[in-house]
Structure 1
Amino acid sequence: MKKVLVFILIVSSVLSCKKSEKELAVKPIKVVVEKSDFGFNFSDFNVVQDTIKKGDTFGTILDKQNIGDRRIFEIVQSVKDTFNVRSIRPNKAYTILRNKDKNNKVQAFIYQPDALSYYVIDFRDSAVVAYKKTRPVTIKRRTIGGVLKGSLSETLGNSGVEAALASRITKIYSWSIDFFKLKKGDRFAITFTERFINDSVYDGVEDLEASFFEYKGKIIYAFPFAQDPSSGKIEYYDEEGKTLKNFFLKTPIKFSRLTSRFSMNRFHPVQKRWKAHKGTDYAAPTGTPISTTASGIVEKTGYTAGNGNYVKVKHNGTYSTQYLHMSKILVRRGQRVNQGDVIGRVGSTGLATGPHVCYRFWKNGVQVDALRLNLPSGEPMVGKNKELFLKKIEPLKFELDSVANL
């Protein structure tokens, strides 16, 4: 009998152990991840996150949370000095925090007009409180470089840089580089700073500190510098202190395709005969902005059967330019225009097979090929400014060269 009792106890113990092992094997380990934002711990609330829809108002949003009209009116009046509820706009984010109990009472409403700032309306106390907060911004610096593996935008995108930097660079180099002529394999290097919200959320490029691009076998540097710090005006210079800003822009359209060059004997695609083409054609979609390549006075605007809508600008006693086939003229005769000002839109008026601008150039009253001219450039810096500049760019240039040669 004693042996039987011992056997039963052993079997029970084994089965009990196996049961415990089974329970341990299937019981999940719960890991709690607490998310917090706007100064609230989200695990303490039922959280509703959405965006303002067209037709939404502060009142209609809160009304869906079972807050009566009278209560909404009181809230609007109490927070109006801090938060104008009429300022909410479609596609902007908002968050509602509610109690976790069965009443699901609203505790806070948060509105985000942009990535950097937000408004909080806090209902937790008897007196409603509203306040605005701005997220902390961290500036981080980096240098990228190597060889182009596509367009400038594609190359920057592959490095995780916002497309806006490509537009900024294109504008800086618009007097010295035609970016449509950059080739795969051309070297480049860029040093810039970027903004990060809460040290982690990317918020775009802050400043461009230095860069270079290889163009037609030549390295062209760009360094920002203010010759008169009190004015705050920054221009870009090469490694010798020569300004990148020439008297004329390279092209009248930022993003275009050269389709026909200056020629004394070209087959006209509309008239179907050989004749002189005393201009340079740049194709672009209808409506693309056309900019004057240098400052001056609008000498003529009008329409002819061949030229379509056109604008002619006199820059000085030596140079004039003309822009043909516009869909729309945006300036008037006698108007002063600055380099880069939009004077019209690309079209296909007059004798044209498609939307483009024919860019014509006069030197001393004679039409010439703008692409073959050695055009005048701006004045270089001299004296103490040049000394300060060269000292400042020395480490920047070394960094660019080091990255590009890796």
Structure 2
Amino acid sequence: MRYLVLAILLVTFFTACNSKEESEKAKKTVVKKEPIIKEYGFTFNDFKVVRDTIRSGDTFGKLLEKYPLKDSLRIHDVTEKVKDSFNVRRIKAGKPYIMFLDKKKPNTLQALVYIEDRINFTVVDFRDSIVVSNKQKPTTLKRRVVAAEIEGSLSETLSNAGVSAGLANKLANIYAYTVDFFKIQKGDKFAVTINERYIDDSIYVGVESIEASYFEHKGKKIFAFPYKLSENQKYEDFYDENGKGLKSMFLKAPLDYFRISSRFSGRRFHPVQMRFKAHNGTDYAAPHGTPIKTTASGVVERTGYTAGNGNFVKVRHSSTYSTQYLHMSKISVRNGQRVSQGQVIGKVGSTGLATGPHVCYRFWKNGVQVDPLRLKLPNAEPMNESHKQKYLAHIAPLKKELDSITAVKFKE
């Protein structure tokens, strides 16, 4: 009897131990649920998802050939259907795209998403009828003021402050005529009020706009505020705290990248006519098709073609100044059109009497052709009094904010 009781106790003990071990194993075995992924308006879990990248030579039609469409659809019909909403010729190598395939019907294409950039994308949905939607990811703007003393380069200083390095180019453009950014030095200071864009309130995209800025270079303080003098003005210009324009009335050259191949001269040997004659312009050599910009705002006075000038554009900027651009391969403006400084008006070519692609840039002051490289060019035309009063009222709170922040940051 004693042995029977002992046997029962042992069985009970080991059964309890096994139950405990099984219980512990059950606790450790956690069934992982598949995470729900939602993006671009789709729940990824509902489809077989294929991510890929546009390759050189790919077309919209070739993308559709990779997987079957619904029985009633043909690639040509789809291309014709979507072309009004989605320019299929714009797809570029290197851009990502996503295919959403039916899980039940083997690999049947349900939708395609073409990703233009971090924000913009196009959805071509084949599920019910063909629907094209050009969409954007939800974004938000966050405003902040960044103030810092230059350490190393401007880009490095901005990066250390957690700001997109692209802001350095924006500031360089604003202060192009007042600060030599090749000569900025340790100890120079700046403060800038910016609006930064975020995707879904968390993913940083970059600087959207500048509300106000301050730069101190070699002890000189320069404020800059964007402002439009009229609602019809496409782009804002930047002015200082007194309403004076920061940029020169004229750009230094009509091209971004160039080399001067021939200067203004009273006597130059003409390479086509093979004789000495006056050259009342400055030749800027550049590759065929390089964009040509008007060096100042104004009205297109004349466009056309002559045997010597080739395709040309002439712009009147004021009662005093006019400019002309010769030998274009393409003219992008029309007579009487108002143009803004820096606006593309054509492309470099070699039409007329030209031995190679270049633009001959001609400059008139009071009806006389002069050398702009030897001329002291004026700043942008000043605001009239009515504009100035509105401008000063507009910038007052912005300047006060910068003043208070720089006073604390730089302990003025």
TM tier, smaller: 0.5 to 0.7
Aligned to 2:143: 141
Aligned to 1:395: 397
Aligned to 2:59: 57
Aligned to 1:261: none
Cα deviation for residue 198 of structure 1 reads: 4.1
2:73 maps to 1:104? no
Letter of the 2:149 counterpart = V
Aligned to 1:171: 173
Aligned to 1:289: 258
**1:14-33: per-residue Cα shift (whole Å, max 9, x none)?**
222123213433x2452532
Aligned to 1:24: 27
2:79 maps to 1:76? yes
Alignment of 1:128-277 (within 5 A): 128-231=130-233, 234-246=236-248
Letter of the 2:74 counterpart = R
Cα deviation for residue 70 of structure 1 reads: 7.1
Aligned to 1:294: none
Q: 2:123 aligns with which of 120, 123, 129?
A: 120
Letter of the 1:179 counterpart = F
Distance 2:115 2:401 in 1: 39
Verify the 8 A CA contact 1:252 1:290 in the aligned structure 2: no
Distance 1:253 1:381 in 2: 25
Distance 2:21 2:200 in 1: 50
Aligned to 1:257: none
1:156 match: secondary structure? helix
Aligned to 1:43: 45
1:94 match: secondary structure? strand
Cα deviation for residue 209 of structure 1 reads: 1.1
Distance 2:141 2:267 in 1: 48
**1:170-216: per-residue Cα shift (whole Å, max 9, x none)?**
22212211111211221100112233344444444332211111111
Verify the 8 A CA contact 2:86 2:132 in the aligned structure 1: yes
Cα deviation for residue 42 of structure 1 reads: 0.7
**1:118-177: per-residue Cα shift (whole Å, max 9, x none)?**
33222323x443333333443332211111122223323333444443223222212211
Cα distance, 1:76–1:341 mapped onto 2, change above 3 Å: closer
Cα deviation for residue 234 of structure 1 reads: 3.4
Distance 1:238 1:396 in 2: 12
Letter of the 2:76 counterpart = F
**1:92-130: per-residue Cα shift (whole Å, max 9, x none)?**
2211011334723322112233444333222323x4433
**1:74-106: per-residue Cα shift (whole Å, max 9, x none)?**
433444443454443322221101133472332
Cα distance, 1:43–1:157 mapped onto 2, change above 3 Å: same
Distance 1:220 1:212 in 2: 6
How many residues are treated as equivalent by the alignment?
327
1:118 match: secondary structure? strand
Distance 1:239 1:148 in 2: 23
% same residue: 39
Verify the 8 A CA contact 2:259 2:285 in the aligned structure 1: no
Aligned to 1:94: 97
**1:238-263: per-residue Cα shift (whole Å, max 9, x none)?**
222333234677x7799xxxxxxxxx
Distance 1:303 1:162 in 2: 50
Alignment of 1:308-319 (within 5 A): none
Mind listing any 5+ residue stretches in structure 1 that lack a counterpart?
255-286, 292-296, 305-310, 315-321, 346-369
Larger CA deviation: 384-393 vs 326-335: 326-335
Distance 1:210 1:158 in 2: 20
Aligned to 2:13: 10
- Computed over aligned residues only, the root mean square deviation of the Cα atoms, in angstroms, reads 4.3
Higher relative contact order (CA 8 A, sep 6+): 1
Distance 1:232 1:138 in 2: 23
2:246 match: secondary structure? coil
Distance 2:82 2:397 in 1: 52
Verify the 8 A CA contact 2:257 2:286 in the aligned structure 1: no
Distance 1:87 1:341 in 2: 23
2:404 match: secondary structure? helix
**1:43-98: per-residue Cα shift (whole Å, max 9, x none)?**
11111111111112233223222458973334334444434544433222211011
Distance 1:300 1:224 in 2: 42
Distance 1:301 1:92 in 2: 53
Distance 1:242 1:174 in 2: 15
Cα distance, 1:100–1:6 mapped onto 2, change above 3 Å: same
Larger CA deviation: 206-215 vs 235-244: 235-244
Letter of the 1:8 counterpart = V
Verify the 8 A CA contact 2:268 2:279 in the aligned structure 1: no
2:11 match: secondary structure? helix
1:143 match: secondary structure? strand
Letter of the 2:211 counterpart = E
